[in-house]
Structure 1
Amino acid sequence: MEPAKKPANAKKPPIRRRDRERTRREILEIAFAEFAENGLTGGNTDAIAARANITKRLIFYYFNSKEELFIAVLEMAYAKMRLAEEGLHLEALEPEAAIRRLAEFTFDFDQANPEYIRLVTIENIHRGRHISASRKLKEMTRPIINQIAAVLDKGVRSGVIQPGIDPNELHMTLNALCFFSVANRHTFEAQFGWDMSSPKAKAQRRREIADLLWRHVRRG
């Protein structure tokens, strides 16, 4: 007896949501490594598909274009840092402890995530056009700026931090210091013969950045 035929209009069973999400996450993680190593232009969707053990068509099922995939990778990378920042709870600390904790966290995150630094550098080469296209990325910045603003306000009220410091400017100054330690390490070491890679050198730089940031904001 032949097996009963399915009706012509029978629908395929839907892919379970968790499977779709897992596949999408795997694509993003592999694409993150590919873009961080080779940039947007050099990043290869065939290589991403091969490493994910999927077809390239499936990549474009989840992401309509290579640039859309790159934006999603940026969103994932920044979200990782922003999520970690939420756990700082700077408002619960005294101002000096909060400023030092912020500096140490930022330094440690950048040191532990050099691929993130490369990805940000690549996006700057593209003049930030992909970040500009993402509302999600713009919204991610507010929580950490709000945390910094709260620390500054608390410090001003208690008389230990000088008034008039812009939280965005402070955030930029801190990121410039920490970013350089990763992004420019190879060229700086080659030019000046200066150790930036050993645990001792990193610990010293970490202390110096925390000291610099606190001296910059403190009153008197």
Structure 2
Amino acid sequence: MINSDTTPTRKASTRTNDPERTMAEILSVATKEFAHKGLAGARIDEIAAATRTSKRMIYYYFGSKEGLYVSVLEAAYGRMRKIEANLHLKDLAPALALKNLVEFTYDHHQGNEDFIRLVMNENVQRGEYLGQSKAIQKLNGSALETIEDLYMRGVKQGVFKKGLSALEIHSAISALTFFNVSNRHTFALIFGGKSGLGKAQTLKKSQVVDMITSYVSA
């Protein structure tokens, strides 16, 4: 039996005059579809309908449902790393650079639940599709380089303690900022009544900054 969700149809293409805009719109709609339904549950038919285009055009641009999924992951990480690069952390004192990086990561995750869902879904897939993308590996490699630069500058200036790696610092930042979003619903259901406010109080941005700063500081 042919899987209609992974095989192009013969429906005529309806939008060819602006490929970049069309691809961007497809990626935007597909991001929400994959974030909320996962790879298995997402439907190309629904993405096509929401973008006023055809399955045939989607497959023309992205090759397959899996190809679109990988492109969505690449776009999600790409947006984050692009903003991160524009923070110009190399121009800042190490402590301020670290503070700005943590605040940015916190704000990004708080404002982009679809990104968190995508990462959670990809963990369910055991990173199968993330591992296929050299672009994502390169992007995330640059994130470690950024941390390595500010950390080593801080060590040389005596404001950061020795013995840490960029990966350890990145993991600590990710853990504290990711959990706030990925577990907000279950955390609120389990502990919400304990706060006296009807909902669980997750870590505030200032608290996360303090924790990471204390962890890294000399």
TM-score by length of 2: 0.87
Secondary structure, aligned partner of 2:80: helix
> Equivalent residue for 2:62?
63
Equivalent residues of 1:86, 1:143 under 8 A apart: no
CA RMSD of aligned residues (A): 1.7
Paired with 2:32 and 2:86, the residues of 1 have a C-alpha distance of 25
Matched letter for residue 211 of structure 1? D
Deviation of 1:87 after TM superposition, in Å, equals 1.2
Paired with 1:135 and 1:115, the residues of 2 have a C-alpha distance of 22
**Which protein has the larger Cα radius of gyration, Structure 1 or Structure 2?**
1
Cα deviation, 1:42-94, whole Å, max 9, x if unaligned, reads 00100000001111111111121111110000001110100011011122222
Secondary structure, aligned partner of 2:160: coil
> Equivalent residue for 1:104?
103
> Equivalent residue for 1:33?
32
Cα deviation, 1:20-44, whole Å, max 9, x if unaligned, reads 1111111111111111111110001
> Equivalent residue for 1:53?
52
Equivalent residues of 1:156, 1:163 under 8 A apart: yes
Secondary structure, aligned partner of 1:160: coil
Task: State yes or no: 1:209 paired with 2:217.
Answer: no
* Structure 1: 5+ residue stretches without partners: 1-14
Matched letter for residue 71 of structure 1? V
Identity of counterpart residues, as a percentage? 40
> Equivalent residue for 1:7?
none
Cα deviation, 1:97-141, whole Å, max 9, x if unaligned, reads 121111111000000100110011001100011111011110101
Equivalent residues of 1:110, 1:178 under 8 A apart: yes
> Equivalent residue for 1:155?
154
TM-score by length of 1: 0.86
